[in-house]
Structure 1
Amino acid sequence: MKLSRSTLSVALLAALVAPAAHAEIALDVIGNSEVSFEGLVQADYNYFDSDFANLNSDLPDGQDSDNELRRAELVLKGKGPGNIDWVVGYDAKADKWLDVNAKYKLGGDANHYFQLGQFKQPNSLEELSSTKNNDFISKAAVTNTYGVARRLGAAYHYGTNDWGLTASYFTHELTEHPAPTPHGPGFGVRGNWAPINDKGSILHFGLSYMDFDTFQDTVRVRARPQADLAGQRIVDAGNMTNVDRQQTIGGEVMWVTGPFKLQGEYMQNSLDRYNNGNPRQSKDFDSSAWYVSGLWNITGETWGYKDGVPTTPLPDQPASGLWQVGARFDSIDLDDGTVIPGATPIAASAVDGALGGQMDAWTVGVNWYWRSNFKFMLNYVMVDSSRYFVRTPAAPYADNPANNNVLVNRKVDDNPNIIEARVQLYW
């Protein structure tokens, strides 16, 4: 499905003319369902101070920067009939479906429900939080690499405002992609608990586990350098073949006190590979990543808490807006192998397992929520990474690591710096 430019223009015009539409725009009551309309438009700019890899190599224009319309999300929501809530969302930029599901609230309780359709799976505090309120322009490497986002499936949730338990069974995405798709069928569970949950004072803990089949038994674990428009993944474990299942366990913690918020996540990912007679092609692969971040609302606002994730408030003073400053440190380790030295000093080495590299990154940023519908973001990213590179006859240091019995010539440090900016309209 593709939406025409005129359709998108009409949607944007509807948002702009709506008076102070900080939330969804109420449309009508249809079939005993209160129907509303939401939208999100984001435009990004990245400037790359590349080091080893050319981060803008997907656009051979000789430029050090890139810009792109990142999202153009259009969402219809309905409350009713009865205890049913439903949503249909579509991203006109990415040409893909977003949330498309129905939720039945047992006994009318918003914390006790069945859900059927496509929705975000129960993992990752950052992944489950609203995209329009991301603390930083690019999500942390742990979220982008291991997080399972929207999938078709069914879920059951039970809890209160202070705790919750969600179990889900899922398959593929609603929008078709060229094979192989990232995930096959699987299941996920997440528990969240807030022993402190008062206005301006929140302490949250979360634990999740995902287990799913791999499509066509091939998985590639890699990460961009904290820049969504970067054309290179500077850590990359290569194509893992003979993979049976993938499991991820994740832990979350968040603390809010007044205008300050600290949060962090850790995920351990395992690829279970079946025996095909080749020890290197049958070796399991384990990797991990984590981050910790801090945010300060300079203008004094604090966060709320709903469904096990933080909620960002509107500005206390719409004309001057809500100002935030923040910093994040995140790390990912895709090395799970050892180098077997060559027979001579000039001979290439082999790898038992996979050496995808290690990457640490600092991100500092400032956010400005202006009035009720606009957000402006500016980030500066400093990356420190290292990775083994492959030697082949065609390309002496090709950026294309294989994971089994690769020829290793040298270990390369790659430490780029990146400036990122985002303009956002939402309603």
Structure 2
Amino acid sequence: MKLSRSTLSVALLAALAAPAAHAEVALDVIGNSEVSFEGLVQADFYSYGNDLKNLNVDAPDGSDSDNELRRAELVLKGKGPGNFEWVLGYDAKDDKFLDVNVKYKFGNNANHFIQVGQFKQPNSMEELSSTKNNDFIAKGSITNTFGVARRVGVGYYYGDVNWGVNATYFSRELTRNRKHGNGFGLRGTWAPINETGNILHFGLSHMDYDADLGGTAALNTGDIVSFSARPLADISQTLVSTGNITRSDRVATTGFEGLWVRGPFKLQGEYMKTSVQRYGGSPDVDFDGGYISGLWNITGESWGYKSGTPTTPLPDNPGLGMWQVGLRYDTIDLNDGTGNTTTGATTGVLGGEQDAWTVGVNWYWRSNFKFMLNYVKVDSSKWVGGTTRRYVDDNPNITEVRMQFYW
């Protein structure tokens, strides 16, 4: 759904005119379950400083900007009966189900439960954190490219306030024609320091799933997978992409993560390596990437910690709001092969490399509004065959704005 600039302005004014609310709206008690309602609406605007490729998703219309309603999430939650909790979420913008699951807490302990249904898989601290509290408008390249998000499955979590172990078995997404492939996920976290305003966290995760995207047996392509990364702009064209990797069997991703919070400062980083196991004589391929980011709450607030992820507070002064400034370095490498500049012949997979710096300012106003401004500088390089026979650089810059309303 495209939005004109005037439409975005009207949407923003309507949001500002809405009465303040809490993070969720209590509805009723039904069948001994306390039912509440949550929502999230996000609208983005991007202005591109294109280099070679026009990043506009409607290219070649000549425009150097994009705007779109990114999310329109509606979520019902229930606590009870007893030790049960449930959630039913839907994104009206993307026409897909979000979290749809039932959780049973052993001994009513939030750190010991079993979960059945669709939920986020345990493989990325950034992915597992709440979307409404993203530090930057776009998540890291590895999170969107290698991470496994929501899938239908069963999960078991056991831990304490400063450590946790999560194991899942999953299949496809609940929404038809979305990602699929059976697999399992594991994540362990440990916070040797976990005090108010003073947190140190380490995590390790591993995902393994079937490459089940349906190649054509008659053409000897077998199952296929593909990986691509946008230039830290969620609705833009991609600059690096592997294309279809044929005769793929299994995909395995191992991730390392770290987090340090000291008062109003937060330092966070993740690294992922993805391996594609292939058959029929095709060589296995490996890709990797990571990010490191720093965030400063100018207004002095600090972060909390829950189930191996940081939690974002409300502003200490709702009228002033909470102001943040951040810096992130992001890199992803989708190359595992070589290109011959003389003959043009290639081996392996040459999807390209991309590095990016992001500078951001966030303003959380009162309890329900967030405004974000990012500037992204991208350096990418990708092999181009044919008569070109060389790696070609494409180095755009992007200015991004997000307006968000949530309850």
Aligned residue for 2:232, secondary structure, equals: coil
Aligned residue for 2:142, secondary structure, equals: helix
State the match for 1:199 in structure 2: 196
Retained in 2: the 8 A contact 1:294–1:327? yes
State the match for 1:221 in structure 2: 227
Distance 1:411 1:245, change over 3 A: same
Q: What is the CA-CA distance between 1:165 and the residue it aligns to? A: 0.3
Q: 168, 172, 182: which is aligned to 1:185? A: 182
Q: What is the CA-CA distance between 1:73 and the residue it aligns to? A: 0.2
Q: What is the CA-CA distance between 1:377 and the residue it aligns to? A: 0.1
State the match for 1:360 in structure 2: 355
State the match for 2:364 in structure 1: 369
State the match for 1:403 in structure 2: none
Q: 343, 346, 352: which is aligned to 1:351? A: 346
- Paired AA for residue 377 in structure 2: M
Q: 391, 395, 405: which is aligned to 1:411? A: 391
Tell me the distance in 2 between the aligned counterparts of 1:209 and 1:411.
32
Retained in 2: the 8 A contact 1:183–1:212? no
State the match for 1:250 in structure 2: 255
Aligned residue for 1:230, secondary structure, equals: coil
Aligned residue for 1:296, secondary structure, equals: strand
User: Is 1:96 aligned with 2:91?
Assistant: no
State the match for 2:402 in structure 1: 422
Aligned residue for 1:220, secondary structure, equals: coil
Distance 1:19 1:65, change over 3 A: closer
- What is the number of residues matched between the two proteins? 387
Retained in 2: the 8 A contact 1:182–1:214? no
- Paired AA for residue 357 in structure 1: G
Q: 236, 260, 263: which is aligned to 2:265? A: 260
Q: What is the CA-CA distance between 1:59 and the residue it aligns to? A: 4.1
Tell me the distance in 2 between the aligned counterparts of 1:57 and 1:91.
21
Give matches, 1:49-198, under 5 Å.
Answer: 49-177=49-177, 181-198=178-195
State the match for 1:333 in structure 2: 333
Retained in 2: the 8 A contact 1:15–1:21? no
Structure 1 stretches of at least 4 aligned residues deviating more than 3 Å after TM superposition: 14-20
Cα displacement string for residues 151-182 of structure 1 (whole angstroms, at most 9, x for unaligned residues):
000000000111100000000000012xxx54
> Identity over aligned residues, as a percent?
67
Aligned residue for 2:29, secondary structure, equals: strand
State the match for 2:207 in structure 1: 210
- Paired AA for residue 370 in structure 1: W
- Paired AA for residue 345 in structure 2: A
Retained in 1: the 8 A contact 2:57–2:235? no
Aligned residue for 1:138, secondary structure, equals: coil
State the match for 1:378 in structure 2: 373
Structure 1 vs Structure 2 CA RMSD: 1.8
Cα displacement string for residues 298-346 of structure 1 (whole angstroms, at most 9, x for unaligned residues):
000000001110010000010110000000001111111022454xxxx
Cα displacement string for residues 85-111 of structure 1 (whole angstroms, at most 9, x for unaligned residues):
000000000000000000001111111
Retained in 1: the 8 A contact 2:322–2:363? yes
Aligned residue for 1:219, secondary structure, equals: coil
Given the two structures, how large is their TM-score scaled by the length of structure 1?
A: 0.88
Aligned residue for 2:107, secondary structure, equals: helix
- Paired AA for residue 48 in structure 2: F
Tell me the distance in 2 between the aligned counterparts of 1:30 and 1:356.
52
Aligned residue for 1:52, secondary structure, equals: coil
Cα displacement string for residues 36-59 of structure 1 (whole angstroms, at most 9, x for unaligned residues):
000000000011111111111534
Aligned residue for 2:242, secondary structure, equals: strand
Aligned residue for 1:132, secondary structure, equals: helix
Retained in 1: the 8 A contact 2:155–2:167? yes
Cα displacement string for residues 16-67 of structure 1 (whole angstroms, at most 9, x for unaligned residues):
8985323110000000000000000000001111111111153433210010
State the match for 2:239 in structure 1: 234
User: Is 1:291 aligned with 2:288?
Assistant: no
Aligned residue for 1:126, secondary structure, equals: helix
Retained in 1: the 8 A contact 2:15–2:405? no
Tell me the distance in 1 between the aligned counterparts of 2:153 and 2:367.
34
Q: What is the CA-CA distance between 1:410 and the residue it aligns to? A: 2.2
State the match for 2:9 in structure 1: none
